[in-house]
Amino acid sequence: MIKEASEHFVEILSQKPALVPLYKNRDMTLEIQSDEEHIWLQFLDGHCDILLSKPEHVDITVSGNTECIEALIKGYERLTLMEEEGRITIDGSLRHLLSLESLFVLTGEDSALLHN
């Protein structure tokens, strides 16, 4: 579930050049942990890719149950609000976290940007 949602996120991100400024100059690695899966996303040189193995360094860690993580990746829920409510735990710089939150929301199924 998380892998499929992550693959969809990366695919949508690659189709939306308007979002590139949000991560173009942010080289960061994200670790997503759910009950059942571990996924690593790497933002590097204006691209986002899923890594097949655990990287040496992780800048952001997001963990929670599968349903919460899937809702986050699909843009249904906001990262900071979910963390505030205790539904997920996050670790990373605020700058990276806010950028990531924006990317999840703007690539979400409800985003007007997705449908334009």
Which of 46-50, 67-71, 77-81, 107-111 bottoms out in mean pLDDT, i.e. has the lowest?
A: 107-111
Q: Answer with the residue of higher pLDDT: 24 or 67.
A: 67
Residue range 86-104, pLDDT digits in tens: 999 999 999 899 989 999 9
Spatial contact of 85 and 50, defined as CB atoms under 8 Å apart: no
pLDDT of residue 23: 84
Q: How confident is the model at residue 78 (pLDDT cuts 50, 70, 90)?
A: very high
CA dihedral of residues 97, 21, 12, 34 (deg, nearest 10)? -10
**Averaged pLDDT, 45-73:** 95
pLDDT of residue 111: 56
pLDDT of residue 104: 92
Domains in the chain (CATH in brackets) are 2-106 (3.30.1050.10)
Q: Is 72 exposed, middle or buried (0-12, 13-18, 19+ CB in 10 A)?
A: buried
Residue 27 has pLDDT above 80, yes or no: yes
